[in-house]
Chains A and B, each alone.
Chain A
Amino acid sequence: MKIAFKSVRGRIIWLHVLALASVFAVSSLAALLLLRATADDFEQRVLADHAQTVAKYLKDDATGWTLALPPDLQVLYGRGYGGYALSVLDDSGRIVFSSSSGNQPLMSAPRSAEENSYFRRNRGYSVFYGVNHPVQRGQHTATIQVAQDLENTDVIVDDVVAGFVRRVAWVLLPMFALLLALDVVIVRRALKPVTTASELARAIRPSSIGIRLPRQGLPREVLPLVEAVNQALDRLERGFQTQREFTADAAHELRTPLAVLTTFLDILPDRVAAEQLRPHVQAMSRIVVQLLELAELESSTLGSDETADLRAVCSEAISMMVPVALSEQKSIELAGPSEPVWVRGNAEMLFRAIRNLVENAIRFTAAGTTVEVDLDREGFVSVKDRGPGIPAAERELIFRRFWRRNRRTGTNAGLGLSIVQRAVELHGGALAVAERDGGGAVFSIQLTPVWKPQTHSKASEVQRRPNATVTQMQQH
């Protein structure tokens, strides 16, 4: 039977329990047996002594066997005293003398002609332990049997054994328990560096990618594992760094020629040609910018103590999209608390995510309608439009990179929602899309709220630089 153990500590402790239990059982048994053997030995010597003493008074003469015990010995072998019983048998096994009333031999065969042999028998409540002692007188051999009733309370040998076993058990058991407890402590202390390293490993998050597991204090058996983990983290960090550098370089290389192109279009004297070219250049610009944003998000990590004011982020994202909305006879409004709503995260990333959602909502909502952005104190924000909505079948697809419902119109690359999804993922948040009562779609994001004591209004800082926004003022 194989038992799977969930922890090294558990395994060691269980095996220890089994080992200690076995040792305890074996040593108790051994002690018991040894004690018994010693007791038996003791008994045997006592009985042999008795038999030899009796043998002195046993004579064989012409009439047969005679036993002339002195008075004190007679009393000794009478019933009741010390529990000794005595009988003497002749060659043929007939009783010559017996201290018991029934004139029965204490034990019949087997008898050895030369040596003492010992026997044990139960009779009623008594346990007799006795010796057959052969005595040679001339040509005849008699057997002196001396036995003792061990159940007699005057017999202490058995009681000593029993008492000893009980005492030993009561001493041994706590000692084994103490040993077990000590083992647990030892195991725990020995494994402590491993436990610490594990906890550190558990704390490694994308935001704390600089952590490495410490090597000192760790047992040799675990070191290869720790080193492998550290090396993997090194590679990961280098990978992120490389990707970040690549994205930054790519950004620069792509953005500059694009800027030349768009500015050229802006000042081209042939306005007709310019306006024909513009949508395509804009489409390309938009794709490039979104690709770069997505790439940047892929290699980004979030600092564990960064926080953002979600209300300010929503306010700014909306402000940015309002001119576009108004030019299409649409509007946007923000509902929710009028104080800051602090969440764990990076203001600029969240700004890009919400701006993307609002941008989509504006694009799809019907003319004359208002896009609603709802915010609550728990870090939940939803963007609702009155557009055609998202059919259930497409609700997974829309977040895929480059997925578009209508591939024939070219201005949308299908990246916006991927950016939103990636940003929300990075923040450990949840993103959902659903149908709206009365038509339209609602996208909702749940972020992690953070409690902050209220400080004086940030707007007074904004006053110094009217073009700057709260997300730009955020410092850590």
Chain B
Amino acid sequence: MRLLLVEDNEALSGLLQKGLNAAGFAVDAVQSVAEAVAGLARTRFSAIVLDLGLPDGDGYAVLENLRAKGDSTPVLILTARTAVGDKVKGFNRGADDYLGKPFALEELVARLQALLRRPGVLLGAALQLGRLTFDTAAREITVDGQLQPVPPREAAVLEILLRRSGRVVPKQVIEDQLYGLSDEVNSNAVEVYVHRLRRQLSEAGADVEIHTIRGVGYLIRQTREDRV
């Protein structure tokens, strides 16, 4: 997984490279719009971490250049510009995620992994959490290597939750992905699937928990010792 890091603050750039390397990413670091554009022309990257305040211009120039070429490489904007409206602007210009400084390295890594786990991107064939593994290509769900018989609809729900593990997935999103526009949506169906999944995974000892956030959606995460 090769990342392009575009950040002009040398200290931060160095630290980020170390941190991202430790998380398993190979990192090419540049410090200006010109260098970034040149780098993008030479190499294909899995994702780009882009600062906006660059010495020779606005980071958006890099983004525009990329999107104009039809390149859909995921771009995460990492910036000190966090005024109201900046985020919307970022997304409108074609960014895939927007993280403000200061940030937790852990969160940056999680968001990058989420960007890379999307369908269509190389990494993501196998989703893993706790003792659970989901091979999305083969549609096989295993806990500790043991194959689990999971009906297709429940499997679909599990996949959606796993791709955003640790984060709340709105119920509407799950419904939209499960059903086409013409299908009748039973508003209780998702709750039922989640309930069954929960039971099945618990019985299999998957070491994961699915939480229902009433009125909002669902979240899957690894069972852990929490601070009380």
Q: Do residues A334 and B216 form an inter-chain contact, with CB atoms below 8 A? A: yes
The residues of A that contact B168 with a CB separation of less than 8 Å are 318-319, 322
Asked if A430 is at the interface (CB within 8 A of a chain B CB), the reply is no
Dominant secondary structure at the A interface: helix
* Given known A266-B19, A333-B214, A463-B173, contact A251–B103 (CB-CB < 8 A): no
Which bracket fits the contact residues of B? 35 or more
Within 8 A of A (CB), among B147-190: 163-164, 166-168, 170, 172-173, 175-177, 181
Find B215's partner among A267, A373, A473 (CB 8 Å cutoff).
A373
Within 8 A of B (CB), among A427-476: 457, 459-460, 462-463, 465-468, 471-475
Find B9's partner among A256, A289, A329 (CB 8 Å cutoff).
A256
The residues of B that contact A475 with a CB separation of less than 8 Å are 88, 92
- Of the 9-residue stretches A32-40, A158-166, A257-265, which lies at the interface with chain B? A257-265
Q: Which B-chain residue is minimally distant from A311 (CB atoms)?
A: B215
Asked if B137 is at the interface (CB within 8 A of a chain A CB), the reply is no
Q: Which B-chain residue is minimally distant from A349 (CB atoms)?
A: B84
Q: Do residues B216 and A266 form an inter-chain contact, with CB atoms below 8 A? A: no
Which bracket fits the contact residues of A? 35 or more
Q: Which B-chain residue is minimally distant from A253 (CB atoms)?
A: B80
Binding site for A on B (CB under 8 A): 9, 11-12, 15-16, 18-19, 22, 53, 80-85, 87-88, 91-92, 96-98, 100-106, 111, 114-115, 118, 163-164, 166-168, 170, 172-173, 175-177, 181, 211, 213-217, 219, 221, 226-228
Within 8 A of B (CB), among A285-331: 285, 289, 292, 296, 300, 315, 318-319, 322-323, 326-329, 331
Find B216's partner among A251, A255, A259, A318 (CB 8 Å cutoff).
A318
The residues of B that contact A26 with a CB separation of less than 8 Å are none
Q: Given the complex of chains A and B, what is the CA–CA distance between A207 and B60 in angstroms?
A: 28
Find B15's partner among A248, A264, A332, A373 (CB 8 Å cutoff).
A264
Q: Given the complex of chains A and B, what is the CA–CA distance between A334 and B212 in angstroms?
A: 11
Q: Do residues B114 and A467 form an inter-chain contact, with CB atoms below 8 A? A: yes
Q: Do residues A319 and B104 form an inter-chain contact, with CB atoms below 8 A? A: no
Find A331's partner among B9, B164, B211 (CB 8 Å cutoff).
B211
The residues of B that contact A468 with a CB separation of less than 8 Å are 91, 96-97
